[in-house]
Amino acid sequence: MFKRLDFVIIAALMILSFLPEIILGASVGKNFSTTYAEITVSGKMYKTIPLSVHKGEEIIEIKTKDGINVVKVKDNKIGIIEADCPDKVCMNPEYIEKPGQSLVCLPNKVMIEIKGKADDDIILSH
């Protein structure tokens, strides 16, 4: 029924299926000296917010022809707290804070992505 080549192909596909996790998961959980959130609307940069130095709360209302999203920045976290899209999937999880995490509201074409910068000037020695 199954030939030897079938098992080789299945094994190769299973190994390749973990490749995105290895590549994309490498940035999540790393320690970055600076973290910031990039908000894009319809594929264009809307606003960049430095999260690692942000204190307090800030409300950002994004109004487009596609809809309205209300974004809340709370200390070093950011989240969509209100949206007029039908499914409200973009409001879960409530806040994100680690590089590699993202929130997307497809109907309103809003994306929030956390990015980080490592401190390249630090030299470790004995």
Q: Is residue 84 part of a domain?
A: yes
Indicate whether 27 belongs to any domain: no
Instruction: State the residue range of the domain holding 92.
Output: 32-117
pLDDT of 32 above 90: no
For residue 12, tell me if it sits in a domain.
no
pLDDT at 25 over 80: no
* Assigned domain for 74 exists: yes
Cβ–Cβ < 8 Å for 58, 47: no
Measured CA to CA in angstroms, residue 114 lies from 5, 47, 65, 74, 102 at distances of 42, 12, 25, 14, 6
Q: Is residue 16 in some structural domain? A: no
pLDDT band per the 50, 70, 90 thresholds, residue 121: very low
DSSP state of 60: E
pTM: 0.70
Q: What total of structural domains would you count in the chain? A: 1
- Tell me, what CATH number does 101's domain have? 2.60.320.10
Per-residue pLDDT of 57-104, as tens digits, reads 999 999 999 999 999 999 999 999 999 999 989 888 889 998 889 999
Strand order in 34-41's β-sheet?
Answer: 44-50, 34-41, 110-117, 102-105
Mean pLDDT of the residues in the chain: 86
